[in-house]
A and B are shown apart, each in its own frame.
Chain A
């Protein structure tokens, strides 16, 4: 069975500091990994994905994520946080054996960036 864990309910960071939002996963087969961001009362916006290739994936708005197979992790990072990055972030995973492109989402992590 597929599962995703986002161990932190909330991450607080000062503007200009680097940020990390953690994600670990469990799947059958090769993992396809995704990060999404959600602003209040909005749908989810796709940030980036890992399918294969380089372990460091670059995405929208200056975000990047590092795939670590041995630790089964896919942490989201940004070198310098902005106040406008404050939102709810979801990690999602799909195993290569999964039918229908179904994703399993983590519980979400609230990111608060303070000026």
Chain B
């Protein structure tokens, strides 16, 4: 069966510090991968998606970047965090077929102070 992992579960970082959030998928190959941010416990904003190793598409201009160094690994980074980067970050994957649903990881709660 397929599983998706995210870590850390929670993170408190000072403004201006770097960030690295990791997401890994097991049990499937060549997944599509996604990073979302959920602010204030409501709407989801798609930040990045990837259809293959080294292929990253950015949905919104921001202080964050993403990388996919391996087929089932997706990393969200920042060189200098802003207060506005606080939120709940969710990683998701879908299988290669076009009509497949996305499966979400447990999320990382980031607080920037």
Contact check, A32 vs B43: say whether CB atoms are below 8 A apart.
no
| Listed stretches A18-26, A63-71, A99-107; interface member | A99-107
Contact check, B57 vs A100: say whether CB atoms are below 8 A apart.
yes
Interface majority SS on B: helix, strand, loop or mixed? strand
Task: Tally inter-chain residue pairs, CB-CB below 8 A.
Answer: 53
Which residues, 1 to 60 on B, are CB-close (under 8 Å) to A?
6, 32, 34, 41-44, 46, 49, 51, 57
B10 to chain A, nearest CB (A): 9
Residues of B within 8 A of A49 (CB): 99, 101
Residues of A within 8 A of B32 (CB): 100-101
Residues of B within 8 A of A43 (CB): 6, 90, 92, 104-107
**Which of B44, B57, B88, B98 is A90 in contact with, Cβ under 8 Å?**
B44
Contact check, B107 vs A100: say whether CB atoms are below 8 A apart.
no
Determine if A12 is an interface residue (Cβ-Cβ < 8 Å): no
Contact check, B44 vs A101: say whether CB atoms are below 8 A apart.
no
Closest to B90 in A: A43
Query: Which 10 pairs from chain A and chain B are nearest by CB?
Result: A43-B104, A44-B104, A105-B44, A101-B94, A107-B43, A51-B99, A43-B106, A101-B32, A46-B101, A43-B107
By a beta-carbon cutoff of 8 Å, the part of chain A in contact with chain B is 32, 34, 36, 40-46, 49, 51, 88, 90, 96, 100-103, 105-108
